[in-house]
Structure 1
């Protein structure tokens, strides 16, 4: 899986086919509130759309009928893709759509990658919205020899794991409808739960005691930072309460062989590759200030039940960890491996309950300093990612802090990062990311 941003996405020229989703029945008002993540997203300041998109290649020109059938089957299968949100006098309301319809837009042909990229970005910004019935865009780039299926969704309805699921299922469904127009011979997909049921369960907040050791760990972490999420420790040239255009960086940190060597180093330290990259980050981020620790939030998926393994939705929570920098990589790695294992247990505490016991967060920034790690080799459809040139594409919006997404594939480890596009931010992040590459390469020598 290639994890990138829309400003770096360069599909080959062709004819863009597009479908938008319209209600096929009267929307039903749902009593299920937005999840914790959805609520945070829906209440964010107005600005550019925050959407996630996925794309993959198929042989030959697009069969519009087969692709439309595949899109419809995907929407029917996942309730998360058939609900929307409206804002009214009572707050934010979830609406359910038992049926949805696809409306094909006019085809558009382009001669350059830049023209297609700009067209897709405008269409995604238009149709992948937080509020209203327009939450996704389904499309394809039609070419004689090899075409691309591409679709995007407002972040309220999907996470990174979901994009991998969508790519795998659309490829499966489209291939099936191509082979058999009736769809009767398509191998059934795994049973999935409905993300709305997950949200309903999450709304019943477990009354975890303030004396629970996991709760105490959460509270200690946040109180050390004045009851707010931590900020990236290096100067990005932006003051709290302001934001600027986002700048992105996508770089290949380690190839497959070096990644395997890093995995062996981490295994000998009784920990994971994720602990390894966190340790390298801390050593680079803490060196200028000589800090001992780098506090950061780590997103982790909550698909703990088989019911959710192939479900589309925003199945993530965050866990806190103070990553030790240290002067010796291996010593810090051993310590951070244990801290990461302990931190993962804190994901069992509902974030809504943490905020309740804390008395509210006092966040000074819109973005949260976080570091994500996804091993795409373990996600649905991973065996096809290379052959079909699978992509995860995110929008470029505004930023007031730094965020990092590490992805491991058969090709090694890649890092996508976003940060405020200021002169100080550019200088700081160029130095930090170069140092990070150096530290990781040194760790496997």
Structure 2
């Protein structure tokens, strides 16, 4: 499983169709809106606000059957049945709707258009914050002369309804709806709670009446809103963090060029460690009593200190599935903290991560809404960590799963470290300016080199034994 970008995702040549369910009457008004949803949707209708997952289908399927299976998936997850809109007074509102079967649409292809470009156009056009619905299922049927006849599916949704964990759940549920035996034999999942069935029953209004409903993200939003207000200690810590950035969230202390306006992005994907070297790094971490994340952050901090003379400070996304019941639920279950690492000692970084996780336990709405939102400025820096081996759902390797990000104009830097059974790779997104191309690339090279150098000698010994 790899992280990639719509401009570089690998998709077969062939026929491209997309499917949307029909959104019917409102069945629930005033659905709770999370802090991150409100922030995201309030930025307005725009292309590139989505995220997606692409994977091969294990068996051939008709479009009709695939559409029926997708309808079952949408009926299972409450957030997929909701629509953002503006009320008469301009305020943001979220409503839940009855859903029914939709229709397939052929995507018109210009001569020589790449499949990825066709999918890019579909997701940019339809997976927007206030689209109705804001998600699409794309089916790619390979050309008749293709050496590989496997169909490929792309699940795309506006980010307001999903996170990376969620799109994997949607793929799992779609495969389960197509073939219940895969779930019965535990091929697709390792869930602490929840087990989808192959079909869902519906009531006369078209809303799901099945007992197999996944926990609703709206209930999670309401639960967070009911939590106690931030303590003075938490408010003081956030004040310290913002003061260190002149009132803004952390930035990467490199020359990124002129960022008075957002510019096209550069996306780099780099392999760092193979399976042997990953095992070596895990062994080294265990010897120090820390985890892989702490080892990577230590090297990231070491490179940043060496190149800039300043500590590592970054926005640090943290998932908010704080109870097992949310493990089987689709939604934007991510909050943000800040990680600060002033040492390249993994044991010190482990303590820094604990501090960041404690900070993330307090909902952000009560902290940032009085400030008018999260104070992000040009050059904002974020570090994300994903160990796919620890996710509650595992898709078979032969499905060639790819997490796909949109193509954006940016004024900041974000780096994702991704661990899988085959090793570790990173994806980094940064502004396409001459200065950033030089400075961020040098920084990435140093990070990759440091992690590879740390594991080189022990990995050679491991293979020899």
When normalised by structure 1's length, the TM-score is 0.89
Partner of 1:417: 428
The reply on whether 1:86 has 2:104 as its aligned counterpart is no
- Which residue does the alignment assign to 2:161? 157
Deviation at residue 360 of structure 1 after TM alignment: 6.1
Q: Report the counterpart of residue 329 of structure 1 in structure 2.
A: none
> Pick from 257, 268, 279: which aligns with 2:287?
268
Q: CA shift at 1:304, angstroms?
A: 1.3
Match of residue 446 from structure 2: 435
Q: Distance in 2 between matches of 1:37 and 1:118?
A: 29
Instruction: Give 1:6 shift.
Output: 0.3
Deviation, 1:369, is 1.6
Q: Which residue number in structure 2 is paired with residue 305 of structure 1?
A: 323
Aligned partner (choices 177, 192, 200) of residue 214 of structure 2: 192
1:133 matched residue in structure 2: 132
CA distance in structure 1 between the aligned counterparts of 2:374 and 2:247, rounded to whole angstroms: 6
Give the C-alpha shift of residue 235 in structure 1.
1.2
Listed as ranges, the gaps of 5+ residues in structure 1 are 327-331
Contact 2:155 2:167 in 1 (8 A): no
SS of the residue 1:137 aligns to: strand
Helix, strand or coil: the match of 1:288? helix
Q: Where does residue 346 of structure 1 map in the other structure?
A: 359
Q: 1:101 Cα deviation (Å)? A: 3.4
Q: Is the 8 A contact 1:30 1:94 kept in 2?
A: yes
Matched, 1:397 2:408: yes
Given that 1:84 and 1:133 are in contact with CA atoms closer than 8 Å, whether structure 2 keeps it comes out as: yes
Matched, 1:147 2:170: no
- Which aligned pairs between 1:45-444 and structure 2 lie closer than 5 A? 47-88=46-87, 89-106=89-106, 115-143=114-142, 145-176=149-180, 186=198, 192-204=214-226, 206-210=228-232, 212=233, 214-239=234-259, 241-291=260-310, 293-326=311-344, 332-355=345-368, 361-365=374-378, 368-382=380-394, 384-444=395-455
User: Does residue 1:20 correspond to 2:20, yes or no?
Assistant: yes
Task: Give CA-to-partner distance per residue, 1:202-239, whole Å, 9 cap, x none.
Answer: 333522321x3x44333322222223211111111133
Distance 1:247 1:83, change over 3 A: same
CA distance in 2, matches of 1:109, 1:61: 23
How far off its partner does 1:121 sit?
Answer: 0.4
Please report the RMSD computed on the Cα atoms of aligned residues, expressed in angstroms.
2.6
d(CA) in 2 for partners of 1:227, 1:272: 32
Aligned residues of 1:20 and 1:127 also touching (Cα < 8 A)? no
CA distance, structure 1, for counterparts of residue 106 and residue 26 of structure 2: 27
Structure 2: tracts of 5 or more residues without a match: 184-195, 201-210, 457-465
